[in-house]
Amino acid sequence: MNVEELRELCLSKKGVTEEFPFDESTLVFKVMGKMFALVALERLPPQCNLKCDPERALELRETHDGDIIPGYHMSKKHWNTIMLDNLPPKLIMELVDHSYALVVSGLTKKLKAQLGVAD
């Protein structure tokens, strides 16, 4: 999966915005103002940081050694960096969905109502 395909996937989700809050080369996707994906546009190979359940994060790192690593410049417990070139698109889509769902589950009742999801 390339960066543009990842971008389209992220933006297809409800309530998602994109911005460059840190610098001009780190694209951040947020749902209701909370980060769920970061893409380092200048890093090669193309990479994305995604939020992940801590136990699943460890399992993914073991299963996909080198292609899924602890989150670069992020909490190593809650974030993974994934190599976009080396993983199946279906897995990447699943991991994006998981990250988005984790962030949505942590939103306040008010933000969930604005997003239109059940509490």
**Segment 58-114, tens digit of pLDDT:** 999 999 999 999 998 888 899 999 999 989 999 999 999 999 999 999 999 999 999
How many Å apart are CA 52 and CA 69, to the nearest integer? 12
Average pLDDT over residues 17-30: 96
**Please, what is the Cα angle at 99 between 94 and 101, to 5 degrees?**
90
Which domains can be identified in the chain, with CATH numbers?
3-104 (3.90.1150.30)
At 72 the pLDDT is 83
Q: What is the pLDDT of residues 33-61, one digit of tens each?
A: 999 999 999 988 999 999 999 999 999 99
Phi first, then psi, for residue 97 (nearest 5°) are -60, -45
Amino acid at 3: V
Read off the pTM: 0.94
